[in-house]
Amino acid sequence: MSIEPPAKTRALSSLTESQGENAMNENHRPEPAVDDSVPGRAVYQVDQLDCPVEENLIRNKLTPLPGIDGLDFNLIKGRLTVTHRLETLEPVEAALKALNMTARLVTGETPATADQTPAPAGRSPWPRLLAAGLLALGAEIAHLVGAAGAGGLTAAVETGPGLDIWDGLSLALAVAAIALGGLATYRHGWTALRNFDLNMNALMCVAVTGALLIGQWPEAAMVMVLFNVAETIEDLSLARARKAIGELLKLTPETAVVRQEDGTWLETPADRVPAGALVRVRPGQRVALDGRIVSGGSALNQAPITGESLPVEKTVGDQVFAGSINESGVFEYQVTAAFENSTLARIIQAVEEAQASRAPIQRFVDRFARIYTPIVFAAALLTAVLPPLLGGGDWLPWIYKALVILVIACPCALVISVPVTIVSGLAAATRHGLLIKGGAFLEAGRKLKWIALDKTGTLTRGRPAVTEFRPWGQADPDRARRLAAALAARSDHPVSRAIAEATGDPASSPDVIGFTDRPGRGTSGVIDGQTWFLGNRQWMREEGRASEALDAAVEELEREGRSVVILAGEDGALALFAVADELKDGTGAAVAELKSLGLKTVMLTGDNEAVARSAAARAGLERYRSGLLPEDKLTALIELQKEGPVGMVGDGINDAPALARADIGFAMGVAGTDTAMETADVALMNDDPGRLAVFIRLSRATHRILWQNIGTALGIKTGFFILALAGQATMWMAVFADIGVSLLVVANGLRMLRQ
């Protein structure tokens, strides 16, 4: 048996319900974006930050500044977080202004209250783009009329610009179209070139300017218009992924009906309701804050939090989550966490942090794009210069081919596909009751070979019951129960709670002095001047309180698959408690599903051999290890990692070392301690082991779509690159290809929302 430390040990990061406040781990506590009294972290809302192009531009500008320690980007939310050692933020803001970035310092927000979307961009761009498109079309018509007698496009490329009235009209309309639809692109492109950054805006500006100079005015205008249309459509596609995250905010009502000191009920803003307050919820209303029911009961739809498809019956003592919908009865509950520390707020915060993290494949794509773009730019330059110098033809056709190559070179489709797919996958995971703390974990899930599972609270219900009580020797049964209740009531371990419930009212039990909780062994304390121990047989042996007869009795009970807890004093054992814990519904099916996906499973438990063997057989597990202390679980996991990546699933403090060491740690989101929640990489918000298979499938689907996007983008660009060198591709074709690929990969990435 492994018993968790008492509340004073768990206070590092646990929810202290008796005091009615949440003491989340400081590394994950919501905090203001910047604290003027403690410089070091500033968050900016950057309106233009919605693409990796802008991210790279900002990173290259700010990273060299003295005093900048780190930069984190949230492209979906348009946020830049600067970690610094600056006395003033003026250098940061000056650098952003030099990049023509509109940046606003964000202060005093929490995940529960912050707006999830960037600031609105103002009026719709479509009327302007439509007008620019009509002007570009007019330029094309004028060009065709003027070139009709000169052999069409090919002749125009060979002989250069004409001088008649139609060419003049075509040029005027093209310049007007570019001015109306592409001034912002030119501003961004010039900024990029000034900072030696060959991003897609810079490439597009060079291509369009070159097309103007060689007389391809209608094509230059239409390329610029189509490019901006594509940018707008991409923004709308990204907004859909952004909306999927932002919808989380709408799950909680703005107010709650709170009981006042005089006994009346008053509707109060949810963010002003303190922990410990009493809240009433009627049928059809949403739960505003986390808490525990104190009177009444109902069926709650908590799908937004846990992913459960059916309403869950709740009664006195049960936990309720902010965002759940009350389906039937009226109930009252006591708030256990303030608005900003609710489970939903923590989900939002974790998803935001996950958005800002970079998966390995995203880092790979970013590195590839930084190498790919300059190489293609150099290839375009050589295409324009070398053949004419070597006598391979006239300058204008080769310059035109080089400009086509520049359009093809834009890496946006390749780069943008990764964050869209990752964020869509994270949003889909929350719908299934999975809280994934980073794109890296979503991507790495497909590599797992082993799933190691704790038993109590993970595979089993975590609420064992005492099935047999045996006084030992000449012990007084009533006295043994009172002593056991006194020790068990002070521990949070499920087995201890079962003993406390079975032995009577803990309030009437004797006082305990010097209470000690030993993880993996049991609890002890001084009662009525004598030291008493309540723990497993291994600990009794270590303390010299075991005997052959006691071992035989324990083994008899353990062969039946039950855990045995021994109450012993200075003179030996006083009583035995046989405890059994049933498997959760669907545990066997969950293990079978993991096997069908090709994963191997093993149970790591502190329980004895007989209990572990019985539980493993009922769950259908391939292997099991029993009698493990926290350090033993860690050792067992390290051994498994020699055979491949391992995912560890647990719910207690004694699982935390293994959770931290595992390639991916999974924590039970409801039954799990906050230590396990903070240590793990993925939280199963409904404690259903069946969600493990859902995670694996999401991970594999994400990986598959990512490489589909990368392969599609590179394949199409390579094909058009060859066509351009062969003189078979026009700028129109190139820009359509670039737009098409960008929209295709974004749409493909958004398919993750439907997983």
CB neighbour class for 130 (10 Å; exposed up to 12, middle 13-18, buried from 19): middle
What count of other Cβ atoms lies within 10 Å of the Cβ of residue 97?
11
Say if CB 323 and CB 305 are below 8 A apart.
Answer: yes
The CA distance from 200 to 203, in Å, is: 5
DSSP string over 240-276: HHHHHHHGGGGGS-SEEEEE-TTS-EEEEEGGGPPTT
Q: Which of 429, 449, 454, 436 is nearest to 647 (CA)?
A: 449
Give the pair of three-digit tokens for residue 424: 């869509």
Active-site annotation holds for 454: yes
b (16+ CB within 10 A) / e for 532-544: bbbbbbbbbeebe
Say if CB 22 and CB 338 are below 8 A apart.
Answer: yes
DSSP string over 178-192: HHHHHHHHHHHHHHH
The CA distance from 109 to 400, in Å, is: 51
The CA distance from 472 to 561, in Å, is: 21
For residue 235, the SS3 value is helix
The CA distance from 500 to 661, in Å, is: 33
The CA distance from 274 to 276, in Å, is: 6
CA angle 205, 211, 216 (to 5 degrees): 145
HSE-CB of 466 using CA atoms within 13 angstroms: 21
Active-site residue identified among 197, 454, 492, 738: 454
CA angle 654, 656, 657 (to 5 degrees): 95
Give the pair of three-digit tokens for residue 542: 């270590």
Beta strands in 304-348 (DSSP E): 312-314, 319-320, 325-326, 331-335
The CA distance from 670 to 678, in Å, is: 13
HSE-CB of 643 using CA atoms within 13 angstroms: 14
- What are phi and psi for residue 89, nearest 5 degrees? -90, 10
Residue 105 amino acid letter: L
Say how many Å lie between the first and final Cα of the chain, rounded: 39
What count of other Cβ atoms lies within 10 Å of the Cβ of residue 36?
8
For residue 665, the SS3 value is strand
b (16+ CB within 10 A) / e for 632-642: bbbbbbeebbe
HSE-CB of 139 using CA atoms within 13 angstroms: 27
Give the pair of three-digit tokens for residue 716: 């199409």
The CA distance from 220 to 140, in Å, is: 10
Give the pair of three-digit tokens for residue 257: 């009906």
544 DSSP β-pair partners: none
Say if CB 198 and CB 374 are below 8 A apart.
Answer: yes
Say if CB 224 and CB 208 are below 8 A apart.
Answer: yes
DSSP string over 421-451: HHHHHHHHHHHTTEEE--HHHHHHGGG--EE
DSSP string over 58-118: HHHHHTTSTTEEEEEEETTTTEEEEEE--S-SHHHHHHHHHTT--EEEE-S--TTTS-SSP
Give the pair of three-digit tokens for residue 599: 């994963």
Q: What is the DSSP letter of 221?
A: H
Active site residues: 454
